[in-house]
């Protein structure tokens, strides 16, 4: 097999030892590095390549010493500008003896439509460029009304208008799909004026139906234009085909509603949205970003203490009741309150460190209604980026929840804690298909880590990769000693690959689960088990570490954990996953569990606010449309 050498972008984070943190002398740091990775201690595995030493040797001239490989960035979202629909192509084109679309059969209103086209000459209808193009293409080939019969709106039009008016129940903005509906009138005093009004309604409704259909299927924003961390394939939509379908069905509601994702998670989020829209705001709202350490002061503290006092049980009340009653209005986080906060945190399953942070606030105060509404609306939008049918079996990684699950036949067969990328090395949001499990894997060191973290050391100690269990190969795959390379001659473009051999110290642990992607993200084991005890687990270089990698490997291979354990006894090997198993490396701050209950999580990478900015930019473009 071919190992992923220079494409991997992520690795686990090693706890920085006190010696390195204090900037030990060069000899001491070298000895410590040899101990951890190449020298004296063989059975004390570590989770990651260590950070560069505090003392950075001066790079030779021309060597690009300050060059770094940067992570993907976020962009200021720019929505496509609307264009005025050019109806001149319809009015100028002579009606062909044979319709351009062979499937088109003129109705009794066909002649009226032809007469009505003149009413579009000065009509200012604005739409997205592809929608404007689709309108002209469809009506050129099918010159007849879809939404009008005789002198009024037909049932199709009435159903469509009702569905567009219910857009808020899907987390969409009804104003984006508003159409001026002609008033019902039996008077024929001005047939020309009535016909003009009807044909304009026809075009406006078709334009807004197409917008709704695309929004429902693919979302209102293009995620790939928001950031390099997002990677989603386009969802093609035959817009002229949509109008053709609607022209030949009476089941308009059924068709339009079917454009939304058809999975249980989407429905659960819709139910949650409806419940939130009907609910009152939290009685006590605490700043969700509160960070308060002992000795500090905050006006948010009395709110939190009031919530604790209200929910105090007999055991906690007996221990802390009197003290809490005295200090419930305190804005100063005095030492006397620390044991109470620790006890509350531990009761909720947290580590109990006494620091009041967002997770503690969320557990005690919940999330404000406004914040939950935003999270649900964002989650609905993000779900539209994914396939409508998520597949079964599937692996679902939810980054803000720090979990990875194996789901089959509607059941969560496995759920394990996960570690994701640090804020500076974020895990991407995409989906793929699981291909392979590697036992006792090699680690192909990504170029970003070679350049940003290894190169500063290699310039002064070119042979240490040889001592540390790494292999260096040139562009032809020929292995060469690390000491033979003039590392000081290179900046961001290094013509060598580096990989770590399988061992107890290997940063990937005993196995990795591959789903080849351009981000080179995968799931894997890690020697750094202590990270799974932490509540906030955004700690890696971007890959997803699993607390139960053997369980996940067994699940995707359709076998047992005992089988995986036996494979691991025989050294390095690989095994293909023969079933089609999609994997979602997802990012949802609101997500339903298997019972449909929606859970809320912290926005680790601040992506919800970025998506809100993109949605606002889209609304700003759409708002002047008619």
Print burial letters for 19-28: b (CB count within 10 Å at least 16), e (below 16).
ebeeebeeee
How much is the pLDDT for 214?
98
Those residues whose C-beta lies under 8 Å from the C-beta of residue 57, and which sit 6 or more positions away, are: 456, 459, 460
d(CA 135, CA 137): 5
How much is the pLDDT for 17?
31
DSSP secondary structure letter of residue 53: P
The rounded average pLDDT for each run of 10 residues, N- to C-terminus, in the chain (626 residues) is: 37 33 33 32 36 42 58 92 94 53 57 87 95 96 94 94 97 96 70 90 98 98 96 96 96 98 98 93 82 94 90 83 92 94 86 88 83 96 98 98 97 97 96 97 86 88 87 90 89 88 86 93 94 93 96 98 96 96 98 95 95 96 70
How much is the pLDDT for 107?
60
- Phi-psi group of 468: left, alpha or beta (phi > 0 → left; psi -120 to 50 → alpha; rest → beta): alpha
Burial class of 563 by CB neighbour count within 10 A (0 to 12, 13 to 18, 19+): middle
How much is the pLDDT for 352?
87
How much is the pLDDT for 32?
30
Closest by CA to 421, choosing from 439, 397, 441, is 397
264-278 vs 369-383: helix crossing angle, rounded to 10: 150
How much is the pLDDT for 426?
96
Token reading at 521: 């993200």
- Assign 67 to helix, strand or coil: coil
Burial class of 171 by CB neighbour count within 10 A (0 to 12, 13 to 18, 19+): buried
* Integer Rg of the chain from CA: 30
The architecture that CATH gives domain 18-70+396-588 is Beta Barrel (2.40)
Closest by CA to 292, choosing from 331, 349, 348, 336, is 331
- Assign 477 to helix, strand or coil: coil
Closest by CA to 349, choosing from 602, 533, 548, is 533
- Assign 546 to helix, strand or coil: strand
Q: CA-based diameter of the chain, in Å?
A: 100
d(CA 518, CA 495): 19
CB 314 within 8 A of CB 289: no
Domain range summary for the chain, segments of one domain joined by +: 18-70+396-588, 83-276, 301-365
């Amino acid at each position: 097999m071919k190992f992923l050498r220079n494409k991997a972008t992520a690795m686990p984070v090693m706890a920085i030892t006190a010696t390195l943190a204090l900037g030990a002398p060069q000899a001491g740091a070298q000895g410590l590095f040899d101990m951890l990775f190449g020298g004296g201690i063989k059975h004390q595995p570590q989770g990651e390549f260590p950070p560069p030493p505090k003392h950075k040797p001066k790079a030779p001239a021309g060597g690009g010493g300050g060059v770094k490989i940067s992570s993907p960035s976020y962009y200021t979202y720019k929505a496509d500008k609307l264009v005025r629909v050019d109806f001149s192509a319809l009015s100028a084109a002579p009606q062909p003896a044979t319709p351009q679309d062979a499937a088109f059969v003129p109705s009794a209103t066909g002649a009226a439509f032809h007469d009505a086209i003149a009413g579009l000459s000065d009509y200012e209808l604005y739409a997205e460029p592809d929608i404007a193009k689709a309108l002209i293409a469809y009506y050129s080939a099918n010159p007849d009304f879809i939404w009008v019969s005789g002198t009024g709106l037909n049932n199709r039009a009435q159903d469509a208008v009702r569905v567009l008016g219910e857009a808020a129940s899907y987390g969409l903005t009804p104003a984006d799909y508003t159409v001026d509906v002609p008033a019902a009138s039996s008077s024929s005093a001005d047939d020309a004026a009535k016909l003009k009004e009807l044909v304009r309604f026809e075009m406006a409704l078709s334009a807004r139906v197409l917008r709704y259909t695309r929004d429902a299927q693919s979302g209102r924003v293009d995620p790939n234009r928001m950031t390099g961390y997002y990677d989603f394939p386009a969802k093609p939509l035959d817009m002229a085909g949509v109008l053709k379908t609607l022209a030949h069905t009476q089941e308009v509601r059924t068709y339009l509603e079917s454009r939304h994702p058809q999975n249980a998670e989407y429905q659960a989020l819709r139910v949650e949205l409806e419940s939130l829209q009907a609910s009152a705001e939290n009685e006590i709202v605490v700043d969700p970003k509160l960070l308060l350490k002992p000795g500090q002061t905050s006006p948010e503290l009395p709110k939190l203490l009031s919530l604790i006092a209200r929910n105090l049980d007999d055991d906690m009340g007996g221990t802390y009741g009197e003290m809490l009653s005295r200090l419930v209005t305190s804005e100063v986080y005095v030492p006397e309150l620390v044991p109470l906060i620790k006890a509350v945190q531990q009761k909720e399953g947290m580590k109990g460190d006494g620091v009041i942070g967002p997770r503690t606030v969320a557990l005690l105060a919940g999330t404000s209604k406004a914040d939950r509404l935003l999270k649900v609306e964002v989650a609905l939008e993000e779900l539209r980026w994914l396939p409508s049918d998520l597949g079964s079996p599937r692996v679902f990684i939810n980054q803000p929840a720090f979990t990875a699950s194996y789901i089959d036949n509607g059941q969560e067969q496995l759920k394990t804690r996960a570690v994701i990328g640090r804020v500076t090395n974020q895990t991407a949001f995409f989906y793929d298909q699981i291909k392979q499990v590697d036992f006792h894997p090699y680690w192909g060191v990504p170029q970003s880590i070679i350049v940003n973290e290894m190169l500063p050391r290699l310039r002064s100690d070119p042979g240490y990769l040889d001592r540390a269990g790494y292999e260096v190969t040139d562009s032809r795959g020929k292995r060469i000693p690390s000491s033979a390379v003039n590392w000081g001659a290179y900046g961001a473009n290094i013509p060598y690959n580096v990989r770590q051999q399988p061992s107890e110290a290997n940063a990937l642990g005993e196995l990795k689960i591959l789903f080849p992607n351009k981000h080179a993200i995968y799931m894997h084991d890690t020697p750094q088990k202590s990270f799974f005890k932490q509540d906030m687990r955004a700690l890696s270089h971007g890959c997803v570490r699993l607390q139960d990698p053997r369980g996940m490997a067994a699940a995707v291979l359709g076998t047992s954990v005992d089988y995986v354990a036996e494979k691991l006894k025989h050294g390095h090997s690989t095994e293909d996953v023969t079933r089609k198993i999609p994997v979602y490396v997802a990012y949802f701050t609101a997500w339903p569990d298997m019972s449909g209950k929606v859970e809320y999580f912290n926005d680790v990478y601040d992506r919800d606010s970025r998506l809100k900015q993109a949605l606002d930019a889209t609304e700003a473009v759409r708002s002047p449309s008619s």
